[in-house]
Every structure is written in C-alpha cells, then in structure tokens.
Amino acid sequence: MVSSSSYCKISPVISFLVLFLCVSSSVPPVFSSKPENIQQGNQTLRTGKEVQRLKLIKAHLKKINKPSVKTIQSPDGDSIECVPTHQQPAFDHPHLKGQKPLDPPERVRNGSADTASENYQLWSFSGESCPEGTVPIRRTTEQDVLRASSVRRFGRKFQRPIRRDTSSSGHEHAVGYVTGQQYYGAKASINVWSPRVASRYEFSLSQMWVISGSFGNDLNTIEAGWQVSPELYGDSYPRFFTYWTTDAYQATGCYNLLCSGFVQTSNRIAIGAAISPRSSYRGGQFDISIMIWKDPKHGNWWLEFGSGILVGYWPARLFTHLRNHASMVQYGGEVVNTRSSGYHTPTQMGSGHFAGEGFGRASYFRNLQVVDWDNSLIPPQNLKVLADHPNCYDIRGGINRVWGHYFYYGGPGRNSRCP
C-alpha cells in the first residue's frame, strides 16, 4: 500500500486543452402525385449523398489501410495487419516521402525498465506476431469511419478554442503538471481501467501530454496513454493510443496511425489495440509504463511502451515549437462531458472512484519523471495537481520511496454533488 509523505498543492488554474463540441418537415396530404414525386426526389438526393459519402470512405480506407503480408485476428474483433515498415502511413507525409525508419536513438540516462510482462495487448494472446520488417497496424473499417461526423474529421479531435482556463464545457481534467522549465520528455506508469462511457460522443482517457507553444493556434502537443472511445473504436475496451498536433488541433495530426506522421518501428505493439489485463475494484491492479523523449542527436520524439519497447517516433519536422523542447508536461485523466441529457455526464474517469479511496479503488499515476537537457530522467520539480470540477472528478498527489511522485485521481462524474 502507498502512504503519502507529502502532498502537492493545487495552484491557480493554468493552461489546459478544452473541447467544444435535423429539423424535420412534413407535407400535408393532397390528392396529387406531386408530393410523391417530391418524396422520391428527396429519397434520390439522400441516396446520392450516401453514395458519395461511401465513395469518400472507400477512398480514405484505401489510403490508410496499407497492403499487408499477414493478418492476425484479435479476440476483441480487431484485424491486425502486418504492414511492411517502409509502406506504413507515415511515409505518405510530404516531409517523409522516400525515407525509411531511423535506427534506435540514444537511450535516456537513469531509466529503469519495468520487469512486468510485455504481453499487454489482446491481439498478441494468440501467440502470433508480425514478422521482422513489418509493423502491426489495426485495420480501419467502414463502420469505424461511419461513426465519425465526417470523413475529414475521422481520427482527429474536434477543432476547439484554446484558453488559459478550464471553465468551458466539454473537456474536464484531473491532472498533475509541471511548467516553467525546458522539458525534453516525460515518463510515468499509468493504472489501466475500463471506465464506463455514457455516450458514443464522449470518451475517458488517461495520458501524458508533452506541450509547447502558446495556447493559441500554434499549440504543439504529443500525447500517449489509454482511452475508452466508443466513437473511435466502436467498443468499451481501454486502448493504447497516441495523438499529435502542431496547430492546436485545427488541421494537423491525428490519433494513432490514422494519418501520416508518426513512424512506427516496433513489430510487437499495435497502436490503437486493446490493452489487457485491466485493473479491478479491490482486486488486481495493472499499469503500463510510457515514456516520450527527444533524441539528442536527431531531435525526434520517441515513444517507449512497457519494459523498454521502442514503438516509434514523431519526426521533429512535424513540429514548430516542439522542434526545440517542451514548456509543459501534464499527466492525468480527461473526459468529455456533452451534457446530452441536460445534466453532467455519468462518464467515469479512471476507475470511476474518487482519489480518496486510495490503492485498489482509485486510479493512479506513479513514478512521474521528466527528461532534462542532459537526456536524464529526473523527478518533476514543483509538481502541481488540479481538478477542473472536483465534485465530479478529483486528484490527490504525494511522494514516497517506492512510487516516487504519484497521484490518485478520477471519479464517477454525475452524483449528488455533481448535478
């Protein structure tokens, strides 16, 4: 069990990301064939639009689903395609055309690999794997794209205004963060749960953010963690995910490998695939270790998952401010609150229980670290914690010898104190 020796103090509200998320008519009956013609015309128009959308979807799927040498069926219904490394979506990007994946970077100093099992994903339980020279990619289906509001927005976060507060409706956070220095990466172990998500248009996630730029249209972020997103994946499994943007979510970046940019190098981890095992209330606890850091030699941002597995990298050329360093690191939970029924969403964050319940009940982040200018992992200095709506989702931080810097966080969403 974990005992806190000191707690972080909540600071004034600081920069966070916030999200903003048919009229029918009737014709009175008359004894004429004209309304029937109008109805047939409307039906034809609708059919024409549907056909056009399906054409766009098929073209998009052809673009992102690359030819594979092997297909592995996952127990959760996913198809994992083993795509030749040089044919992955990343190399469609104008800055990356004709390139090949880079060799592994210089590793971070003082890094200690976890000793837990590396069999973290459902698709790998069959014992099958992708051969060397390929990368496992979750196949995108027509149904995946149809759940999105449009083909253009598929795999992307909604465009949203960036403000220096978190009072806007939409996204709600419970996070720990550091700011005020130059950061070259971050690492944490993140407790994995299956929170209940109340609406197809909401999600619940736990992640790290590596951030640079002003909180305007030039915001750069790199993000990784786990999420439950019925709209994106069509189910309620927690899934390993990544995201990036270089213009505050307007036109650049996407989830996972749903656009060009992130270069995958691992043939063992599939981004977007379901994570297993998962934690249970008053039962077994499971967490995943994630590290993001900047290669001192080439400047690319690398992603490590589990016990030292290099998943791949975001090329430095994708970014503006993050070509140099990050100015903020965040760790924590986030949910979307659509208030679709007129009250706060019951979508859960983390385990769905408040931080005060502690180990085995509340979700946690442990062993929080940042990467300094010397490519070394060090404890975060002046870590602060903040919950946007503490009656809905809260957070409590501390330090001890076993977990280093850590915090518990989460909550049930709607309750008697969170109407």
User: Alpha helix (H) ranges present in 212-309?
Assistant: 230-233
Residue from 96, 299, 333, 350 nearest 185 by CA = 299
Joined tokens for residue 58:
């098929």
**Contact (CB, 8 A) for 381 and 313:** no
User: How far apart are the C-alpha atoms of 2 and 400, rounded to whole Å?
Assistant: 8
User: Alpha helix (H) ranges present in 201-244?
Assistant: 230-233
- Residue 231 annotated among the catalytic residues of the structure: no
Residue from 375, 368, 364, 248 nearest 302 by CA = 375
User: How far apart are the C-alpha atoms of 189 and 369, rounded to whole Å?
Assistant: 10
In angstroms, how far is CA 206 from the centroid of its own chain? 8
Greatest Cα-to-Cα distance within the chain, rounded to the nearest angstrom = 84
**Contact (CB, 8 A) for 220 and 319:** yes
Q: Report helix, strand or coil for 232.
A: helix
DSSP 105: -
DSSP 45: H
> Cis peptide before 67, with omega less than 30 degrees from 0?
no
Catalytic-role residue among 81, 202, 304, 334: 334
CA torsion angle for 214, 259, 169, 226 (degrees, to 10)?
A: -100
Catalytic-role residue among 223, 231, 304, 357: 223
User: How far apart are the C-alpha atoms of 139 and 360, rounded to whole Å?
Assistant: 34
Residue that has been written with the tokens 């442990």 in this structure: 366
Question: Computed over its alpha carbons, how large is the radius of gyration of the chain?
Answer: 22
User: How far apart are the C-alpha atoms of 160 and 370, rounded to whole Å?
Assistant: 28
- Residue 334 annotated among the catalytic residues of the structure: yes
**Contact (CB, 8 A) for 147 and 245:** no
**Contact (CB, 8 A) for 361 and 374:** no
**Helix-strand-coil percent breakdown of the chain, rounded to 5?**
15, 30, 55
Element holding 144 (H helix, E strand): helix 142-146
Q: Are strands 134-138 and 239-245 parallel, antiparallel or unpaired?
A: unpaired
Please identify every residue annotated as catalytic. 223, 334
